[in-house]
Chains A and B, each alone.
Chain A
Amino acid sequence: MAQRNPGDTGSAGEPPGLAALPGSWDELVARPLVQFESVSKRFGNFVAVERLSLDIREREFFALLGPSGCGKTTLLRMLAGFEQPSEGRILLDGVDISDVPPHRRPVNMMFQSYALFPHLTVEGNVAFGLRQDGMPKPEIAARVREMLALVKLDGFGARRPHQLSGGQRQRVALARALAKRPRVLLLDEPMSALDRKLREDTRFELMELQDKLGLTFVIVTHDQEEAMTVADRIGVMNAGRLAQVATPSDIYEHPNSRWVADFIGDVNLFEGRVVSSGLGHTVIESEAGGRLLVTHPTDASAGTAVTVAVRPEKVRIDTSASRVSDENCFAGRVVEVGYLGGVSIYKVALDNGLRMKATVANRTRPVERPAGAGDRVWLSFPPEAGVVLLR
């Protein structure tokens, strides 16, 4: 597993106490490997990437997450050299690479479509990049064997791409991109064509590989779970901009905006106004009625409109009102119970008109449900569970 960097300061609006741990990863790596400096990319009038700045560190596993069309692929293609930034600079090792053509960049890409050469064998595909460097033949053969062993494809060297399964092709593509030991490996939705089981296996293989080879990976994915598992840091993109850059747990537990909270995972959002805020607590008057108390501090002064985000798994569900307090408590009626295997998700229509979701782990077999559709329930969450969002 790649090293996690606990002390990330990338996200705004998070509690200061959580950010700076001593001896953090930042101090170990002085200069970022890849730097996007206020990079924009326009296609005609359309702005695909807008004044985006991002630092990617050496040996980091960085994931780009975002809705379709937000510019993830464009960002990777600019780093690989297939697209020129309209504005801004891209630095690799501190050197501006804007004018370096793709074939001279120490960056390799694993294409979403794999883009294996159909007229070459598996070996020929993996050796292609090494041949361009004029590496001596015996060394090429050794490296190809090593790469194929790495992706568990020993013995497949003589096959053509069309004689492989989808998962095997994907591994060939990975081996080909890794063979040259690039400074940065770009992976554009590398696992979108695989079934869930294979994806999970591949995920861990990727992490292992990254650790073993000590390379820097940038991965684009639609799969949040995937990004959460593999990445040291995640960049959440929206409409050509980075909404938040932080560790997976920060992205999940301390989203910096309503949009990020909503985009990542499931979330309950309450609109309201700040009543009072002090050290370690904020009181919010919910628009729909009811008071919210959260420990998450905010700079917002009284009266400011804010959103409180609460993850469904942090919501507690009770069938009687006796044990719950005044704050963070809502009565309602269960609308629907969705069974997801490991957890069940309760959709509740609150008396104040809002809808709320709560997930409950299915610990027993057969599943015991505290409540079914139509039952009256009380939902509550502890003050630590809520996050106050200004945007």
Chain B
Amino acid sequence: MRSRSGIGGMSRFNVTSVALGLAFLYLPIAILVIYSFNASRLVTVWGGWSTRWYVALLHDQAMLEAAWTSLRIAALSATAASVLGTLAAVALVRAGRFRGRTMFSGMVYAPLVMPEVITGLSLLLLFVALDAARGFWTVTIAHTTVTLSFVTVVVQSRLLSFDRSLEEAAMDLGCPPLKTFLTVTLPLIFPAVAAGWMLAFTLSFDDLVIATFSTGPGATTLPMRIYSEVRLGVKPEINAICTIMIAMVAVGVVAASLLAKRGELAKARAA
């Protein structure tokens, strides 16, 4: 019997360290979720189960507005990033060895590792220099810029394993190049594009730093709203809205990975 030495063949030491690691990661979140259902007004005192803070949220006009702004920004920027990111991935994978290819691919990846503060600040400088009215659209553009590279990475890895003879077959049968891309390539890499969209959406939705730099009066995103409220003290409603955000992000990430996996499956079947 193995169970004496641990679970599923893991030693007791491994089980303990995994449990500690998971606790470290998820205990704060678990506490937040549990306290969002706290009946008591005092955040630190347990007063029994209740959903009253969720109901209260429905009447918090400012919070709802911020949530709506965030949703719109996330959807718009994720869509723009998916289009641009896919095009960039196609260019990188397909264009062969054009001049400056290495530099171009390096530049696409840079935002992945760039500190957000720097990205945010440089975007702010750009918007100021362009004399753009800062608000909803500047945040959307900033988020598109930042999330684009994530889409590119996801789509690029799919394209690298894409069988080009499928495109050749389409053209051979009389399909012009652009139509081939739309009717053959895009449907087949779509899971990767959708995964990229999900990723971009969640990244945009929970971004605080870049939004803070690039926004102006009148456009407050949800994370900004939460942050400013928390500075005045943690209210139970905040726990509730954060729980909703966690749920959304979790759904988004799981959906993205499922889509990516489905793409892998389709590829394996096609092979």
Q: How many residues of B contact A (CB 8 A)?
A: 21
CB-defined contacts of B3 to chain A, threshold 8 Å: none
Would you call A115 and B169 a contact (CB within 8 A)? yes
Q: Return chain A residues, CB-CB under 8 Å to B180.
A: 103
- Once A118-B269, A161-B270 are accepted as A-B contacts, the answer to whether A132 and B174 lie under 8 Å apart by CB is yes
Looking across the interface, which residue of chain A has its beta carbon closest to that of B187? A119
Given contacts A117-B170, A118-B269, A119-B187, contact A103 B176 (CB under 8 A): yes
> Are A119's CB and B173's CB within 8 A?
no
Inter-chain contact A180/B173, CB cutoff 8 Å? yes
Q: Is the CB of A129 within 8 A of B270?
A: no
Judged by a CB distance under 8 angstroms, whether B171 is at the interface is yes
A111 touches B165 (CB 8 A): yes
Of the listed residues B163, B165, B187, B188, the one surrounded by the most CB atoms of chain A closer than 10 A to its CB is: B165
Interface residue? B184 (CB, 8 A): yes
Taking the complex as formed, is A42 at the interface, i.e. its CB lies under 8 A from any CB of chain B? Answer: no
Is B188 a contact of A118 with CB atoms below 8 Å? yes
Q: Which residues of B contact A116 (CB under 8 A)?
A: 169
B55 on the interface (CB 8 Å rule)?
Answer: no
Q: Select A133's contact among B169, B174, B269, beta carbons within 8 Å.
A: B174
Chain A: interface residue total (CB-CB under 8 A): 25
A108 to B172, CA, bound (A): 6
Do A129 and B188 touch (CB < 8 A)?
Answer: no
Residues of A within 8 A of B168 (CB): 80, 82, 102, 109, 111, 115
Which residues of chain B come closer than 8 Å to A113, judged between CB atoms? 163, 165
A215-259 interface (Cβ within 8 A of B) = none
- Whether A162 sits at the interface, judged by CB under 8 Å, is yes
**A129 CA to B187 CA, complexed, in Å:** 17
Verify if B255 is at the interface (C-beta below 8 Å from A): no
Are B270 and A102 in touch, CB under 8 angstroms? no
Asked whether any CB of chain B lies closer than 8 Å to the CB of A296, the reply is: no
Measured CB to CB, the closest approach of chain A to B165, in angstroms, equals: 4
Tell me, rounded to whole Å, the shortest Cβ–Cβ distance linking B125 to chain A.
45
User: When the two chains form their complex, are residues B270 and A162 in contact, meaning their CB atoms are under 8 A apart?
Assistant: yes
Q: CB distance B171 to A103 under 8 Å?
A: yes
Task: Across the interface, name the chain A residue whose C-beta is closest to B180.
Answer: A103
How far is A99 from B257 in the complex, measured between Cα atoms in Å? 44
In the assembled complex, the CB of A44 is this many whole angstroms from the nearest CB of chain B, namely: 11
Once the chains bind, are B174 and A115 in contact (CB under 8 Å)? no
Chain A, Cβ-Cβ closest to B168: A82
Q: How distant is the Cα of A82 from the Cα of B177 in the complex, in angstroms?
A: 12
Asked if A156 CB lies within 8 Å of chain B CBs, one says no
Option from A81, A82, A108, A162 in Cβ contact (under 8 Å) with B173 = A108
Do the beta carbons of A128 and B187 come within 8 Å of each other? no
Known: A115-B165, A115-B168. A129 touches B174 (CB 8 A): yes
Residues of B within 8 A of A107 (CB): 172
**Are B269 and A162 closer than 8 Å at their CB atoms?**
yes
Chain A residues within 8 Å of B187, by CB: 119
Contact residue among A82, A108, A115, A132 (Cβ-Cβ distance under 8 Å from B175): A132
Within 8 Å of chain A (Cβ to Cβ): is B166? yes
A103 touching B175 in the complex, CB below 8 Å, given contacts A119-B187, A128-B170: yes
- Selected contact of B172 from candidates A80, A118, A133, CB within 8 Å: A80
In the complex, A387→B203 CA distance in Å? 77
Task: Say if the beta carbon of A171 comes within 8 Å of chain B.
Answer: no
CA A132 to CA B176, docked complex, whole Å? 9
- Chain A 72-117 interface residues, beta-carbon cutoff 8 Å to B: 80-82, 101-104, 107-109, 111, 113, 115-117
Set of chain A residues within 8 Å of B179, measured between Cβ atoms = 132
Interface status of A291 (Cβ within 8 A of chain B) = no
In the assembled complex, B266 has its CB within 8 A of some CB on chain A: yes
* Inter-subunit contact B270/A118 (CB<8 Å): yes
* Residues A176 and B166 in contact, CB atoms below 8 Å apart: no
List of B residues within 8 angstroms of A180 by Cβ: 173-174
Q: How far is the CB of B262 from chain A (nearest CB, A)?
A: 12
Asked whether, in the complex, the Cβ of B270 is within 8 Å of the Cβ of A176, the reply is no
Instruction: Give complex CA distance A103, B166 in Å.
Output: 13
Q: Is the CB of B169 within 8 A of A103?
A: no
Nearest Cβ in chain A — how far from B205, in angstroms?
Answer: 30
Q: How far does the alpha carbon of A128 sit from the alpha carbon of B187 in the complex, in Å?
A: 15
CB distance from B242 to the nearest CB of A (A): 40
CB distance A128 to B173 under 8 Å? yes
Residue of B nearest to A188 (CB): B165
Residue of B nearest to A126 (CB): B173
Bound state CA distance, A116 and B166, in angstroms?
A: 7
Judge whether B169 and A117 touch: CB under 8 Å. yes
Contacts of A80 in B (CB 8 A): 168, 172
Of residues 115 through 174 on chain B, the ones whose CB sits less than 8 Å from some CB of chain A are: 163, 165-166, 168-174
Q: Complex Cα distance A164/B170, Å?
A: 20
Closest to A134 in B: B174
With a cutoff of 8 Å between Cβ atoms, the chain A residues found around residue B177 in the complex are 101, 103
Please state if A103 and B174 are interface contacts (CB–CB under 8 Å): yes
B171 — which chain A residues lie within 8 A by C-beta?
Answer: 81, 101-103
Determine how close the nearest CB of chain A comes to the CB of B190; give it in whole angstroms. 9
How many angstroms from the CA of A108 to the CA of B169 in the assembled complex?
Answer: 9
* Cross-chain contact A109 with B172 (CB below 8 angstroms): yes
Contacts of A117 in B (CB 8 A): 166, 169-170, 184
7 CB-based A-B contacts, threshold 8 Å: A103-B171, A103-B174, A103-B180, A109-B168, A113-B165, A119-B188, A176-B173
Interface residues of B (CB under 8 A from A): 163, 165-166, 168-177, 179-180, 184, 187-188, 266, 269-270
Query: With contacts A104-B174, A162-B270 known, what are 6 further pairs, Cβ within 8 A?
Result: A81-B172, A103-B174, A103-B180, A116-B169, A132-B174, A176-B169
Which 6 residue pairs of A and B lie closest in terms of their CB atoms, listed nearest first? Answer: A129-B173, A132-B174, A118-B270, A115-B169, A162-B269, A115-B165
